[in-house]
A and B are shown apart, each in its own frame.
Chain A
Amino acid sequence: MRGKHSLFYHILIFVIAQLVWLLLLGIWIYWYVSNYIVFEKVGEEVSPQLVYDVQNALPFILGLILLIGLSFTTSLIFRHLNVQLRITELYDNFIGNVTHELKSPLSSIQLYLETLKQRDVPQEKRKEFIDMMMKDADRLQSLINSILEISAQEKKKLLQDYRVHKAEVVVRELIEESCEKFRVEKENYRIISDAACEIVASKDALKVVFDNLVDNAVKYSTKQAKIVVSLICNSKKVTIIFSDLGIGVAAKEQKKIFNKFYRIYNKEIPNVKGTGLGLYRVKEIIKAHDGKITVLSEGEGKGTTFKLELPAYSAMSKRQLKKFLQTENLRGV
C-alpha cells in the first residue's frame, strides 16, 4: 500500500518537474525572441552595420541544450528513484519474512526451556523436547547461514572446496540427503541417469542448491511433493533436470524468481514461509561453477522444471581447470 502511494507521488513529482521545464523553455524562447527584436531595432538605429546572427544564436542553442539536459537528468533521477523504491519494498518484505522465520523456532525453544524449568517433565518427554529444541536450533542455524552466506566472503568459503566428482554419484547422494531432510518419501522421488560423467564442483555448495530445490518443491506443492531428477551427459556439459509436480511458476515470474528477495505468491498456497534468498543463492552458486540455471513451467498448476547445466570435467578449458582446481593438467588431478 505504502509502495503504491510512494510511486504515485514520484510520478506526480516527475510530471510536475517536466511541466516546469517546459514552462522554463517557453519563457526562455519568449525572452530570447522579444529581446532579439529589441536588440535588433536598437542595433539598427545605433550601428546598422553590426551583424548579430551568429553570436545571438549561440546562447539560444546553449540554453536549449541545458534545458534538454536538465530534463534528461530528471528522467534519470526518476528512474533510479523507482528502482530504489522497488529495492526498499523487497528489503522490507525480506526483513518481515526473516523476522518471522527467526521468531518461530526461537519461541519454540523458549517454550520448551520454560516447560522444563516449571514442570516436572517425565524422562521420555524430556528427550522428545530436547530433540525438538535441536531441530529448532538447526533451523535457526540454516537461516542465519543463508543470510550470512550472501556476503562475498562467506560465498567464497562455501565455494572453496572444488573437486572432481562422478556426477551421478554426487547428485544421487545429495538428492537423497535433501529428500530425507525435507521428508520426501522414497516413493515420491526418482533419479534417472543415463551415463557416467564427471563434474568439478563444491559438494557443500551443491548441497545448498539441492536443499533449496527440494525445499521449494515441498513448500510449493498442494499435495505430497513428487520429484524427478534426470541427469544427461554429453561431451561438453552435464545437464541436471529437476522437475516437481508443484504449483508451477507463471510465465511473467519465471525470470524474477532468481532475483534477491523475490517471492512468488499463489492463492492456492498463501503464506509460504521463506526469505526470498533461496533461488538467488542457487543461481549464484551455479554461476560460480561456470554453469547456468533456467526454469521452465507451462504455467500455474503445471509443475516446475529447473534445468542446471554444468561444464563437463573432460571439456574444461585450461583456464577453468586453473580456476577450480589450481592446475592446468587434466590428468594431474
Chain B
Amino acid sequence: MAEDYKGSRILLVEDEETLAVGLEYNLTEEGYLVEWAKNGREAIDFFKSGRFDLIILDIMLPYVNGFEIAEMVRKSDPQIPILMLTAKTESSDKVKGLEKGADDYLTKPFHLQELLLRVNGMLKRKSWYKSSSEKQPVFKFGDNEINFETLNCRHGEEEIRLTPQEAMLLKYLVERNGKIVSRKELLENVWHLNPDIETRTVDIFIVRLRKYFESDPSNPVYFKSIRGAGYMFEEKQ
C-alpha cells in the first residue's frame, strides 16, 4: 500500500504508551521510519533535530499540547503534513486543530485501515503538490499573489502563510478555473478521503481561503458557492 512512500519518516507524538507501541509497529510494517515522542517537549526536540515527512499528533499531551506543537511546526515548516489523532471529538476542537495548521483530523477510536490510508494519502498529496508547484510556482489573481513553493501569499498589503492543505485545495481549484468542483471531488482528490466521512472539512477550508483572499468574505468574488453543486474558483482575466 505504501509502496511509493516506503522510507518516509514519520514523527509519532502520542503519550499513551499502549497506543503508541501498536501504531509504531503498524507504521513500521508499512515501510515507514517512525520516531516516537512521548510528550510535547520530546516532540519539539525531535522535530528540531530531524527531518520528517509527516507528523501524527495527539492533542492532550504532557507539557506542550498538540495545538501548540502544530502552531510551532507551521512557523518553521509550512509544508509538512500534520495528522491530528485525538479523543477530542467536539467540532470546535477539530476547527481549532485545522486552524492551528493540522491538515487532517482523525478521532479515537479509529480503524487501522483508515489511519494507514490517510497517512498514505497525505504523503501522496505532498508529492503531487511538490511536482505540480514546480511547474507554476507563482499565481496571481486580483490583488492576490500566491507562491505555491514557499506558501507565502499576499492579499493587497497583507502577508499570509498557507498551510499545505490550504495550498493544495487552492491549487486544485485554480487548476480548474471557471469549473464547478463538487465537495465529493475535492474530498476524493485533495484529501483522498471517503466523501461519506466528512463533508464539513471542505467548507471549513473554503471559509479560510475566502478570509485570506476575498476583500469581503461574505460576498465572495473568486471562491463561489454553487448551490447544490459545490464550489467554483473563477477569475475573469
Interface residues of A (CB under 8 A from B): 99-100, 103-108, 110-112, 114-115, 118-119, 125, 128-129, 132-133, 135-136, 269-273
Q: Out of B25, B87, B112, which one reaches A99, CB within 8 Å?
A: B87
B22 lies within 8 A of A112 (CB): yes
Decide if the interface of chain B is mainly helix, strand, loop or mixed: loop
B23 lies within 8 A of A111 (CB): yes
A132 lies within 8 A of B113 (CB): no
Q: How far is the CB of B84 from chain A (nearest CB, A)?
A: 14
Which chain B residues border A136 with CB–CB below 8 Å?
A: 18
B109 lies within 8 A of A103 (CB): yes
B65: Cβ under 8 A from any A Cβ? yes
Q: Out of A99, A100, A119, A270, which one reaches B63, CB within 8 Å?
A: A270
CB contacts between A and B, total, < 8 Å: 68
A104 lies within 8 A of B87 (CB): yes
Q: How far is the CB of A140 from chain B (nearest CB, A)?
A: 11
Question: What is the 8 Å Cβ interface bit string for chain B, positions 14-36, against chain A (1 contact, 0 not)?
Answer: 00101101110110010000000
Which chain B residues border A112 with CB–CB below 8 Å?
A: 22
B21, B60, B87, B89 pick with most chain A CB within 10 angstroms: B87
B200: Cβ under 8 A from any A Cβ? no
17 more A-B residue pairs beyond the given contacts A110-B111, A118-B112, A270-B63, with a C-beta to C-beta distance below 8 A: A103-B87, A104-B16, A104-B108, A105-B18, A106-B109, A108-B18, A108-B19, A108-B22, A110-B110, A111-B110, A114-B112, A115-B25, A115-B112, A125-B25, A129-B22, A270-B64, A273-B60
Closest-by-CB residue of A relative to B60 is A271
B60 lies within 8 A of A114 (CB): no
B65 lies within 8 A of A118 (CB): no
Distance of A106 Cα from B21 Cα, bound (Å): 14
B18, B62, B64 pick with most chain A CB within 10 angstroms: B18
Q: Out of A107, A125, A270, A271, which one reaches B108, CB within 8 Å?
A: A107
Q: How far is the CB of A162 from chain B (nearest CB, A)?
A: 36
